[in-house]
Amino acid sequence: MTVGYYDFPPSIYTTPDGRTEGPLFDLLTRMVQRAGYTPQFRAMPIARLYNELREGRVDLWAGAPNKQELKGHVLESDRPLAEVRLNLYYRPDTPAPKVPDDLAGKVMIMLSGYSYWPHTRELLLDPAREITQLRTHHREAALELLRRQRGDYLLDYQLPIDQVLKRTGQPPLPYVTVESLPIRLIVSRKSSDAPLLLQRMEEVFDQMQAAGEDMALP
């Protein structure tokens, strides 16, 4: 089984020597093996991951449900593996923003490649708000742009931002949460026996929960 992912440290990521690591990797490996499959993990950018799922070259992804890019192309589990928080970070010397009112006319620092969820995407693209998007490929650069006042706010996911701040010795940034969504098992409809694959994965999930196994993710 081909399991696709994009780097989302510390949950799942690729090490400098090319290995996949992280608690989500460990959990998925256990689940896939107990379901009777051999997992092969492939890291790729988000847009390519969506395309590989649509084409059936990736069988399984653990990600946010209801992605417009995948509508009609995947089966989604109703079992939540974890929860992801999308936050709006701001400098400590500025007041907490009221979303969406305080976003009008502001510069929003964002990571390249992310499409975000429909509610947030509509908010960002609303022409009436005139939000300017400042994109960068790296979180360290995004944090530096915020620190140097190149943008008003930084929109990003909590887990990877927390990790970068900890690794670089920076203090926590204040934030307001914009959205919080579950992470679910998502199977390509073009995968061989897709309904059976999802059923087996859900059965394993239920068995592990019933047995009281550690399934906690950061």
pLDDT tens, residue by residue, 201-210: 999 999 999 9
How far apart are the C-alpha atoms of 150 and 200, rounded to whole Å? 49
CA-derived radius of gyration, the chain:
18
Nearest to 162 by CA among 171, 149, 154: 171
pLDDT value for 155 = 97
d(CA 10, CA 22): 6
Q: Which of 9-23, 116-130, 145-159, 167-181 has the lowest mean pLDDT?
A: 116-130
Q: Within a 13 Å sphere around the CA of 30, how many CA atoms are in the beta-carbon half?
A: 13
Q: For the residues 136-157, what does the mean pLDDT come to?
A: 97
Show me where the domains of the chain are located.
Answer: 2-83+182-210, 84-180
pLDDT digits (tens, 9 = 90+) for 168-197: 999 999 999 999 989 999 999 999 999 999
Contact 106, 164 (CB under 8 A): no
Instruction: For residues 176 and 162, give the distance between their C-alpha atoms in angstroms, rounded to a whole number.
Output: 14
64-119 pLDDT, tens digit each: 998 989 999 999 999 989 888 999 999 999 999 999 999 999 999 999 988 777 78
The CA distance from 60 to 31, in Å, is 12
The Cβ of residue 101 has, within 10 Å, a number of other Cβ atoms equal to: 8
User: Is a pLDDT exceeding 90 seen at residue 213?
Assistant: no
State the pLDDT confidence band at 216, using cuts at 50, 70 and 90.
confident
The answer to whether domain 2-83+182-210 and domain 84-180 are alike in fold is yes
User: Regarding the domain with residue range 84-180, which homologous superfamily does it belong to in the CATH classification?
Assistant: Periplasmic binding protein-like II (3.40.190.10)
CATH number of 2-83+182-210: 3.40.190.10
Interstrand relation of 175-188 and 60-63 (parallel, antiparallel or unpaired): antiparallel
Q: Please list, in sequence order, all residues whose beta carbon lies within 8 angstroms of the beta carbon of residue 97, skipping any fewer than 6 positions away.
A: 88, 90, 103, 153, 176
Structure confidence at residue 218 as a pLDDT band (50, 70, 90): low
